[in-house]
Structure 1
């Protein structure tokens, strides 16, 4: 499978990277690149030019912090789905091999697995809501689904990067 991630610009990525690293350290887990999953294909697409074009100027407003029991969505920043993001998602859905999964839910996960209790990073998590996030790349990631363990996370590899 190939999953397509929208990744924040360098400045915004740095804010998320600090929180993700702190939480991963507290968990004894691997850190990973901050990303918003746009969708998954059965195999790499030969042409994503329309998807990349639809993502141009993508800026998303964070709307809250959420927690679930899902390993890859245990603590996350939820985003409002902009017209730009929804247009790009619709474009990706037209690509052969698009894999229907759970409902599209724009977010950036801050840790995989239960977040550590009483973590000092909680203040930093709340601070992520103070600014919109600008995205400047779409990254194709080779992935084996489902992702249920840290070993699964570490097995993901970047296949290609597209500037948006």
Structure 2
């Protein structure tokens, strides 16, 4: 059941919106932490994750639609692949990152991994190493991400 919307609810939505905008991975926001002020909970949801659903002690207050920038929820395949990319980045953490690497070096490593992937893929299917294929694909994606991080639209300079 929906109840009367009060100014405190609107203020809470404003705080939740700000928090969700600052952290696109966050799904839940609360107005307190285990004390008397902990009465409101905001949930980010919707196809584009741009809606905020507010609950007060389990009761729905209101559905505030399109309150944040749309942030699509990646497909399971994309998330699984992103975890593989992160796994490869973590395995190479000791190398110190890519911020100072020239795009020619990064694309060279990308092509080297592409060639290793091609060698694995030309094998007869029972002889293919699926872990090697996944590793090479993640490395290729990581080197492409490094190039865009240094040279593309995401570059802050």
Higher normalized strand content (fraction of residues): 1
TM-score range, shorter chain: under 0.3
TM-score by length of 2: 0.20
Report which of the two has the higher share of helix: 2
Q: Taking structure 1 as the reference length, what is the TM-score of the superposition?
A: 0.19
